[in-house]
Amino acid sequence: MRTQARKRSTFGGSEWDGPAVTVTFTSTEPPEVVLTYYANLAASAGWVPNGNKNILGYPDAWNKTFPGGVHASLGLTDLDIRAASSGMTSTYILNGSA
């Protein structure tokens, strides 16, 4: 799902929300494989872990500053978090916003 940037009223002014993208996907790979893959992919694209980790100890949130000073965040959530074996299906949500 994509959400375009939108202006919202706040007390004494206004602020911008978005844009944002949410992707839900499943995998039969163990969570350790999926989480390591996306952590490496994020790092290779210049995303920096913000210190948050999931119950398995893997980073689950990253930050990045784009040209023009635009700050963005990226998050990966395993809805079925556990030390699963191959063949079990886990559902993940990947969120990106600026």
**Burial environment of residue 74 by CB neighbours within 10 A (0 to 12, 13 to 18, 19 or more):** buried
pTM here is: 0.77
Q: Residue 67: which residues within 8 A CB-CB, separation 6 or more?
A: none
Instruction: Reply yes or no on whether the pLDDT at 70 is more than 70.
Output: yes
Greater confidence (82 vs 90) lies with 90
Rounded to whole angstroms, how far apart are CA atoms 83 and 21? 27
Helix segments in 4-97, DSSP class H:
31-44
List pLDDT tens digits, range 2-60. Answer: 555 565 665 655 455 668 889 999 998 888 899 999 999 999 999 999 999 998 899 99
pLDDT of residue 20: 83
Tokens of 24: 């839900």
pLDDT of residue 93: 95
